[in-house]
């Protein structure tokens, strides 16, 4: 389980690092005069990104040959009518699209036209809390206190009763950017372990129920996409 948590943190740190590089490239390394960089550093503080990672990327932005990062979104058809959204930030567009296409093809998915799947999702700030780390009523009370929009419970499968399955299921506290920091603060006060988003998450408007075989194939597809360095996040409307 620790490996999965470390991988999520690595993705978060990588995304914020790339945002730092791009901001410095466009507006310089001084957050006083570079408001975009100041905003990213404030977000990084909120998300507990280590200071040395930020400093390293501010320095990296001045390296000769280091380009600014461009954000791209790719849409993919998975198995069983399931949609997949792939968020990328890259300094080499041709490289990233080639690698995403290769993984999708190898895993039996299909690239979708822009807009084909994205309309099935909404963007929000999300705090993820493992079901093993918190009591549902406690989270609902916190959400009510700070004015969160919703607490989404994880979907339950018949075979999800083992401790291992439970440790991979999450409550999602959904909010706007305005009260996100307050939610994190309240969770820290209550001693509840949580995983922040990396600036936002995409949530499906409606979830799709796929059969067991499709679920496993989609899981493999998403895992292989997440393994790509250019990929920051992968979302699905699979239940």
pLDDT single digits (tens) 94-127: 999 999 999 999 999 999 999 999 999 999 999 9
Tell me the H-state helices in 131-206: 136-146, 163-166, 180-189
Q: Where are the domains of the chain?
A: 2-60, 70-118+206-236, 120-204
Predicted confidence band at 4 (pLDDT cuts at 50, 70, 90)?
low
Domain 2-60, architecture per CATH: Orthogonal Bundle (1.10)
Residue 17 to residue 78: CA distance in whole angstroms: 30
The predicted structure's pLDDT at residue 165: 58
Residue 135, classed as helix, strand or coil, is: coil
Answer whether 75's CB lies under 8 Å from 111's CB.
yes
How far CA 68 is from CA of 91, 92, 93, in Å, comes to 6, 9, 11
Does 70-118+206-236 match 2-60 at the fold level? Answer: no
Instruction: Please tell me the pTM assigned to this model.
Output: 0.85
Question: Is the predicted pLDDT of residue 230 greater than 70, yes or no?
Answer: yes
What fold does the segment set 120-204 form as a domain? Alpha-Beta Plaits (3.30.70)
Q: What is the pLDDT of residues 204-221, one digit of tens each?
A: 999 999 999 999 999 999
- For residue 88, the tally of other CB atoms under 10 A from its CB is 23
CATH 3.40.50.300 fits 70-118+206-236, yes or no: no
């Amino acid at each position: 389980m620790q490996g999965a948590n470390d991988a999520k943190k690595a993705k978060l740190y990588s995304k914020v690092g790339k945002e730092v590089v791009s901001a410095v490239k466009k507006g310089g390394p001084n957050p006083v005069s570079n408001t975009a960089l100041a905003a990213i550093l404030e977000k990084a503080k909120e998300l507990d990104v280590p200071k040395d990672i930020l400093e390293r990327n501010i320095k990296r932005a001045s390296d000769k040959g280091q380009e600014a990062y461009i954000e791209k979104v790719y849409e993919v058809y998975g198995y069983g009518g399931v949609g997949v959204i792939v968020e990328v930030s890259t300094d080499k567009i041709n490289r990233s699209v080639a690698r995403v296409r290769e993984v999708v093809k190898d895993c039996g998915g299909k690239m979708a036209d822009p807009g084909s799947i994205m309309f099935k999702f909404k963007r929000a700030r999300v705090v993820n809390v493992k079901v093993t780390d918190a009591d549902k009523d406690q989270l609902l009370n916190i959400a009510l206190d700070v004015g969160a929009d919703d607490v989404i419970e994880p979907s339950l499968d018949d075979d999800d009763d083992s401790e291992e399955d439970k440790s991979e299921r999450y409550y999602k506290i959904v909010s706007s950017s305005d009260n996100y920091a307050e939610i994190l603060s309240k969770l820290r006060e209550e001693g509840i372990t949580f995983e922040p988003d990396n600036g936002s998450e995409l949530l499906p408007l409606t979830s799709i129920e796929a059969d067991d075989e499709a679920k496993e194939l989609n899981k493999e597809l998403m895992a292989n996409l997440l393994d790509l360095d250019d990929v920051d996040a992968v979302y699905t409307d699979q239940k």
